[in-house]
Structure 1
Amino acid sequence: MLFYVIVILVILMDQLSKYLIRAFIDINETFTLWGIPLTHIENSGMAGGLFQGYAPLFGVLAVFFVIGVLYFRRTGEMNGALIDCSFGFLVGGAIGNGIDRLLFGQVTDFIIRSGGILNLADHAIEIGGLLLIIFGVVRWLKNKR
């Protein structure tokens, strides 16, 4: 259940934030919200603006990623709250960006951070990846005992 709650919350927050940015902020316009600098850009590639124009391909890859995670979860090899959280953030982020890529042919980014401009789905994927690493380390330590 935790997995699905996180997936739904990530998708809703991501898509709502992107809708608001697209609706009220012009492309390349920069503004500050609660002290956080934001700039509206549209990225038809992947992280860092690499492979511009391939958004539909990355959208399809996101679908396969989600199917893979759902299949992997069914095997029951990895279970527990930590892995459910990890997979929830990863899948929610993949679906959030996948929706943009498949519907609009590009992803709306707006959160300025060193190394680029990201969105909430990107941050969810980072959180999911970090939790997956923590899960792997904890599992390794338990098996080592």
Structure 2
Amino acid sequence: MLFYVIAILVIVMDQLSKYLIRAYIDINETFTLWGVHLTHIENSGMAGGLFQGNARLFGVVAVFFVIGVLYFRRTGEMKGSLIDCSFGFLVGGAIGNGIDRLLFGQVTDFIIRTGGILNFADHAIEIGVFLLIIYGVVRWFKNKH
């Protein structure tokens, strides 16, 4: 259940924030909200603006990624709340950006951060990867003892 709750919350927050940015902020417009600097950009590539024009291809990759995660969850090899959280953030982020890529051919980014401009889905994916690494380390230590 934790997996689904996190994934759905990430998708809803991501899509709602992107809708509001697209509806009310012009492309390349910069503003500050609650001390956070934001700029509306549209990215038709992947992270860091690499491979521009391939958004739909990355959307298909996201679909296969989500199928893979669902498969791993079904096998039951990876269990526990930590991996459920990790997979929830990863799947929510992949679906959030996948929706943009498949429907619009580009992803709406707006959160300025060192290294680029991201969105909620990108941050969710980063959290999911971080939790996956922690899960791997914990599992390694448990198997070692």
Unaligned runs of 5+ residues in structure 1 are none
Q: Does 1:128 align with 2:123?
A: no
> Once the 2 structures are TM-superposed, how far is the Cα of residue 114 of structure 1 from its aligned partner?
0.4
Please report how far the alpha carbon of residue 21 of structure 1 lies from its aligned counterpart in structure 2 after TM superposition.
Answer: 0.2
- Alignment partner, residue 116 of structure 1: 116
In the alignment, the residues of structure 2 paired with residue 124 and residue 84 of structure 1 have an alpha-carbon distance, to the nearest angstrom, of 13
If the length of structure 2 is used for normalisation, what is the TM-score? 1.00
Secondary structure at the residue paired with 1:117?
A: strand
Q: Residue in 2 aligned with 1:104? A: 104
**Residue 83, structure 1, aligned to residue 94, structure 2:** no
Instruction: State the Cα deviation string for residues 45-74 of structure 1 (Å, max 9, x = none).
Output: 000000000000000000000000001100
Instruction: Report the alpha carbon displacement of residue 10 of structure 1 after superposing the two structures with TM.
Output: 0.2
Q: In the aligned structure 2, how far is the partner of 1:26 from the partner of 1:118?
A: 16
- Structure 1 residue 94: deviation in Å? 0.1
Count of aligned positions: 145
> Match of 1:38, SS?
strand
Structure 1 counterpart of 2:59, which letter? Answer: G
What is the identity percentage for the equivalent residue pairs of Structure 1 and Structure 2?
88
Partners in 2 of 1:101 and 1:81 — Cα distance? 30
Deviation at 1:18, TM superposition (A): 0.1
AA paired with 2:90?
L
Deviation for aligned residue 1:120:
0.1
Runs of 4+ residues deviating >6 angstroms = none
Q: How much has 1:77 moved relative to structure 2?
A: 0.2
RMSD: 0.3
If the length of structure 1 is used for normalisation, what is the TM-score? 1.00
Structure 2 portions without partners, runs of 5+: none
Q: CA deviation at 1:125?
A: 0.0
Q: Secondary structure at the match of 2:32?
A: strand
